[in-house]
Structure 1
């Protein structure tokens, strides 16, 4: 994702909410998946979403109120 440094606090909050919802949905899908390939793909997607979430939260927390 580009231009993270130019996002407003409201934009960051919105993207954080979207990522949290994505993670929730992926977690629900993981419970329904069967098979190693599906589990690996879902784990990769969860890891990517979690890393992006952590990056945006750090960026938001570094902003002055």
Structure 2
């Protein structure tokens, strides 16, 4: 009886620790992916701003001539 109780407790403890570890790993990967995506979006946004500035310059030069 007591032997079975110890085995059940150990199995329960291993499952809980495994779930906690899985949560930590998933959360870390989620945050990492968010940071990578925000960096990519920032670079893309800068490129779009440069292109828009170039278009505005060309339109202003076209108006002047």
Q: TM-score, normalised by structure 2?
A: 0.45
Structure 1 or 2: more helix by fraction = 2
Q: Which of structures 1 and 2 has the larger relative contact order (alpha carbons within 8 angstroms, sep 6+)?
A: 1
